[in-house]
Structure 1
Amino acid sequence: MCKKILGITATIAIAFPLLAACGSSSSGPGSSSSESRSSTATQKAGKIGVILPDTKSSARWTTADQPLLETAFKAAGVQYQIQNAQGDVTQMQTIADQMITSGVTVLMMTNLDSGSGKAIQEKARAQGVATIDYDRLTLGGSAQYYVSFDNVAVGKLQGQGLVDCLKAQGVDKPIVAELNGSPTDNNATLFKQGYDSVLKPLYDNGTLVKGPDQAVPEWDNQQAGTIFEQMLTQQPKIAGVLAANDGLGNAAIAILAKNHLNGKVPVTGQDATVQGLQHIVAGDQCMTVYKAVKKEAEAAASLAIDLASGRKPSVPGSLQDPLGKRDVPSVLLTPVTITKSNIKDVIADGYVSRAQVCIESLTTQCTAAGL
């Protein structure tokens, strides 16, 4: 379970020692808060507050991030609270206010949009609370640190993945639809920057044909299905779908299946969710991008624990905030392309289990894939 997946950078290995073993403890979906038992370490350190964004944009927030963060905080013996804003900006602001009032000394958050995130960080700074941007950078914000993946690189992997899948299909001048993430999420902007850097030259030289291109508000999968159905109605010859994550990919696959096109039109994804991996095994999705959330959570937890203990941690790099015009000290991890040929690496890394992916209806396909 503790095998490290091939291709994942070891950058944080020096700066951030592993805080916990591979086991994790999970609380249920939705809002939750927990505090470790009092200990000498707890009394010396401050309290950490974490606000995660929602439970609908990706399954990872409840199945991976929350339990991994909990494991790290418990291992360090620090007090902590983890809550989920459920996609509600007002709720996130209320949670932040409550955490600050309760005495957290470090606030880690995954913003819903940069405007509301900036307001929360300004309030935290006024109260002497340190802040960490987790997974999404708050543009114009004041976070002391940012922990995420190289999100332009994520997009490049998606773009190249779709190109490779289309080549395998052998379609001449295929029409490509782009189903982008939320326009309020800076990560979605970076993903698109990445995949468009791969696709645009091919649009320009006529190798590919640019089709419908639309963002999905708040990464809402239901809206994504409606949007893609409209795309397919307007352009029935769509031959490839650049979907920005597995949830959007699933929405597109459902519409393709409704039109008996699933498996015939390559679809991309991201997050290596169980559902996305199942679609890859079934042949309905051509690739996803695996981001080792365990490494991300451990790096962020290590920063939070240091800050809560009064230490000033150092990080390996920085990322420019174009709106705030400042370089934010950052930990940026390396993503990995996952296709049917290397799904076993995600399982070996302990992110998902074979039993989760290889459900009864996929037994034959899993055997053929070597799972």
Structure 2
Amino acid sequence: MRRNLLALVTVGLLTVGGLTACTDDDGKTSGGGSKVAARGGDGTGKVGVILPDTTTSQRWGTDDPKLLKAAFDAADVPVEIENAQGDPANFQRIGDRMIAAGATVLIIANLDPASGTYVLNKARAAGVKTIDYDRLTLNGGADYYVSFDNVKVGQLQGQGLVRCLNATKALRGDRPPRIVYLNGAPTDNNATLFKNGYDSVLQPKYDDGTYLKGPDQSVDKWDNKEGRSIFVEMLNQFNNDVDGVLAANDGLGNAAISVLRERKKNGTVPVTGQDAETQGLQNILAGDQCMTVYKPIKQEADGAAKLAIGLFKGQQTKVKGQVKDPQSGAYVPAVLLEPIPVFKEDVGKVIKDGFVSKKAVCAGRFAALCRENGIK
């Protein structure tokens, strides 16, 4: 299942490198976008970026803004990056303001379908080109979509949980393990894709009686506090008799781990994650989290920036992939990058790749755990 980290990073870079900038003879977009005359395209105006929140994942508050700004600065393209701070109304206000202020390209990581669609519709009416970033806005009609293969992310989570349950088999004997789920937000299409992925791995094991399926719940807005409350109820329902947690990201995984610690069950119940956050990697080193999924978001930021820069300069940019919007049925030109599974032995590779710092991961009590795992 696992592949060499550097090889997969190379695949992702080749995918982003597959973007081509060319101008069609009739001047129409090759991305299948709006029929309204595109605003700008002559290197004037700016690129606007709207990110969703700063609480559900560290990436939105620190990583993506830094990486996107660096990519636009390197191309000498003006960019404005704002975060909606989890407020759909604020997401819409930011979109309105950026369009009114002369943005010619918008990159959005939607907070929910309604506010995302609102911004995309306003942009389309103004002739502003749009890129869905990380999350597809259902029925939104963005010109492009840049993300990871999110079904594959879920498959890696399911496969990782199977591996870790095999490793803890001696703790439960021959009885089938009971799995509970903390899924992502029901309004986030990515959460649906992750679930499609891990269900494809785990459902056959429920069907043949190898595993027992416990509660399967979504967590509104990816809220970690709500995830913790839901997990407490799950444990209470089964008198703590839970053997594995499919948590859709590291934040929800940590919410479950915090409860398991209180009940002296951390390290005995495998918990998955996603995003390779500092806290998630520390939980893996401590043995409290089974695995995470690393998505090299520099590739994602660079891919979105390259598209936006081409559109900003009036270059009609073609991409090799496409995804189908399950609501509208329309196909959206897409760049899909490769996710990477991370277990304890892989934590050093994520650090070496520059995604997180050794100083942050190996701080305090984790310094000894880093040394034990060969992280120098």
State the superposition RMSD in angstroms: 1.5
Q: Distance in 2 between matches of 1:261 and 1:111?
A: 36
SS at structure 1 position matched to 2:181: strand
What do residues 27-57 of structure 1 show as CA deviations (whole Å, max 9, x unaligned)?
xxxxxxxxxxxxxxx9834310000000011
SS at structure 2 position matched to 1:270: coil
Cα drift, residue 4 of structure 1: 7.0
Q: Distance in 1 between matches of 2:305 and 2:328?
A: 25
Alignment correspondent of 2:187 = 184
- TM-score (normalizing by structure 2): 0.89
- Please tell me whether residue 286 in structure 1 is matched to residue 290 in structure 2: yes
Where does 1:32-51 land on structure 2 (aligned, <5 Å)? Answer: 44-51=43-50
Q: Structure 2: which 5+ runs fail to align?
A: 21-40
CA contact (8 A) 2:19 2:318 kept: no
Q: Distance in 2 between matches of 1:161 and 1:48?
A: 39
Q: Distance in 2 between matches of 1:58 and 1:5?
A: 24
* Count of residues in Structure 1 that have an aligned counterpart in Structure 2: 345
Alignment correspondent of 1:21 = none
Q: Distance in 2 between matches of 1:51 and 1:72?
A: 16
Q: Distance in 2 between matches of 1:226 and 1:332?
A: 34
What do residues 284-325 of structure 1 show as CA deviations (whole Å, max 9, x unaligned)?
001000000000000000001111111111112101111111
Alignment correspondent of 2:353 = 349
Alignment correspondent of 1:231 = 234
Amino acid at match of 1:222: K
CA contact (8 A) 1:5 1:346 kept: no
CA contact (8 A) 1:216 1:223 kept: yes
Where does 1:1-371 land on structure 2 (aligned, <5 Å)? Answer: 5-8=6-9, 9-10=11-12, 11-16=14-19, 44-170=43-169, 171=172, 172-235=175-238, 236-371=240-375
Q: Distance in 2 between matches of 1:13 and 1:122?
A: 27
- TM-score (normalizing by structure 1): 0.90
Cα drift, residue 61 of structure 1: 1.0
- Structure 1's 4 and 153: CA in aligned 2 closer, same or farther, altered over 3 A? closer
More divergent stretch after superposition (357-366 vs 149-158): 357-366
Cα drift, residue 16 of structure 1: 4.7
SS at structure 1 position matched to 2:246: strand
Q: Distance in 1 between matches of 2:303 and 2:280?
A: 25
CA contact (8 A) 2:42 2:312 kept: no
CA contact (8 A) 1:178 1:242 kept: yes
SS at structure 1 position matched to 2:130: strand
What do residues 318-364 of structure 1 show as CA deviations (whole Å, max 9, x unaligned)?
01111111110000000000000111110111001111111221222
Q: What percent of counterpart residues are identical?
A: 54
SS at structure 1 position matched to 2:360: helix
SS at structure 2 position matched to 1:119: helix
CA contact (8 A) 2:181 2:215 kept: yes
SS at structure 1 position matched to 2:213: strand
Q: Distance in 2 between matches of 1:308 and 1:130?
A: 9
Larger RCO: 1 or 2 (CA < 8 Å, sep 6+): 2
Amino acid at match of 1:329: P
CA contact (8 A) 1:46 1:78 kept: no
Cα drift, residue 80 of structure 1: 1.1
Amino acid at match of 2:193: L
Q: Distance in 2 between matches of 1:349 and 1:316?
A: 26
SS at structure 2 position matched to 1:138: coil
Q: Distance in 2 between matches of 1:286 and 1:5?
A: 22
SS at structure 2 position matched to 1:251: helix
SS at structure 2 position matched to 1:360: coil
Q: Distance in 2 between matches of 1:80 and 1:43?
A: 15
SS at structure 1 position matched to 2:365: helix
Q: Structure 1: which 5+ runs fail to align?
A: 18-41
- Structure 1's 43 and 152: CA in aligned 2 closer, same or farther, altered over 3 A? closer
Amino acid at match of 2:329: K
Amino acid at match of 2:365: S
Cα drift, residue 220 of structure 1: 0.4
Amino acid at match of 1:152: V
Amino acid at match of 2:100: T
Q: Distance in 1 between matches of 2:195 and 2:44?
A: 40
Amino acid at match of 2:212: V
